[in-house]
């Protein structure tokens, strides 16, 4: 079946530091890949997505590239802000069933 | 453009009771999926509704049931509540007919079972 493994947290960074959260997946076929963000007490917000190999998703300074050869979709941001403090979830969706499989989430705290 | 809405926002129940959660999808979406997110974990897929039928189901017992209405809104029902059902319940919408697989989430309903 489909599964997602992401870097365990928590991750604590200083403002303007570089952020990387690793995500690898197992899937039959070629899924779509997503990063969602969850701020304290809220639901999930779509951060970015990529639907095929070598696609790069980007939003709000975050980027992730769909790497089929390494089955990875690592999230990066060059200079984090305090407002980026949240829980980040990597997820995949099979093109046939639209069901999302999530990683366990990575808690990121950015200190001023 | 209204996003996904859910009600209520919070709910407290006791063991053995039944609960109904509601979800209205994003405008233009026809598919509703429900997820359970326990504290400190990633969301787990419960089931998905399309054309008023349960299209697929995750590994949840029959105590969890749902419904989709002609206007695409949906309900999640949980019977015989257990303490372990305490979680954030998330609804997400997408469009199978429109081949829009990206799922957009509502704010969730936080259920506490005492």
pLDDT tens digits for range B5-26: 999 999 999 999 999 999 999 9
What average pLDDT is seen over chain B?
Answer: 95
| Torsion from C-alpha of B9, A83, A54, B91, nearest 10 degrees | 0
Q: Which helix (H) or strand (E) holds A46?
A: strand A44-50
Report whether pLDDT(A68) > 90. Answer: yes
Chain B nearest-CA distance from A45, in A, is: 7
Identify the pLDDT of residue B85: 98
State mean pLDDT over A65-93. Answer: 96
Contacts B105 to A, Cβ<8 Å: 36, 43-46
State mean pLDDT over B54-69. Answer: 96
Rounded CA gap, A35 and B14, in Å? 35
Backbone angles phi, psi at B4, to 5 degrees: -75, 130
Chain B nearest-CA distance from A39, in A, is: 11
Identify the pLDDT of residue A1: 83
Identify the pLDDT of residue B23: 98
Q: Which of A55-59, B2-6, B83-87 has the lowest mean pLDDT?
A: B2-6
Query: What is the three-class DSSP state of B83?
Result: helix
Nearest to B31 among A32, A44, A98 (CB): A98
| Listed residue (B71, B68, B113) closest to B91, CA to CA | B68
CB contact under 8 A, B43 and A103: no
Nearest to B107 among A43, A46, A95 (CB): A43
Q: Does B105 touch chain A (CB under 8 A)?
A: yes
Pairing of strands B19-24, B74-78: antiparallel
Identify the pLDDT of residue B86: 98
Would you place residue B1 in the very low, low, confident or very high pLDDT band (cuts 50, 70, 90)?
low
Total residue count of chain B as it appears in this document: 114
User: Between A24 and B100, where is the model more confident?
Assistant: A24
Nearest-5° Cα angle at A12, A57 to B35: 55
* E-strand stretches of chain B: 5-7, 10-13, 19-24, 31-37, 44-50, 53-57, 64-68, 74-78, 87-95, 100-105, 109-113
Identify the pLDDT of residue A94: 82
Both tokens of B82, joined, read 């257990």
Would you place residue B79 in the very low, low, confident or very high pLDDT band (cuts 50, 70, 90)?
very high
State mean pLDDT over B59-63. Answer: 96
Both tokens of B53, joined, read 């039928």
């Amino acid at each position: 079946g489909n599964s997602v493994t992401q870097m365990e947290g928590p991750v604590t960074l200083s403002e303007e530091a570089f952020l990387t959260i690793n995500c690898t997946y197992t899937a039959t076929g070629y899924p779509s890949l997503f990063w969602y963000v969850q701020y304290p007490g809220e639901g999930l917000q779509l951060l970015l997505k990529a639907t095929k190999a070598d696609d790069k998703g980007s939003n709000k300074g975050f980027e992730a590239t769909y790497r089929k050869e390494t089955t990875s979709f690592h999230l990066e941001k060059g200079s984090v802000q305090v407002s980026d403090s949240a829980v980040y979830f990597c997820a995949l969706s099979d093109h046939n069933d639209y069901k999302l499989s999530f990683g366990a989430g990575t808690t990121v705290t950015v200190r001023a | 453009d209204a996003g996904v809405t859910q009600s209520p926002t919070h709910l407290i129940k006791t063991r053995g009771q039944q609960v109904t959660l509601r979800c209205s999808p994003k405008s233009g979406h026809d598919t509703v999926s429900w997820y359970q997110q326990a504290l400190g974990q990633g969301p787990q897929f419960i089931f998905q509704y399309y054309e008023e039928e349960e299209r697929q189901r995750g590994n949840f017992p029959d105590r969890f049931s749902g419904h989709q209405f002609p206007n695409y809104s949906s309900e999640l029902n949980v019977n015989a509540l257990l303490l372990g059902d305490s979680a954030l319940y998330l609804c997400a919408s997408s469009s199978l007919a429109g081949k829009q697989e990206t799922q957009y989430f509502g704010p969730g309903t936080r259920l506490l079972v005492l």
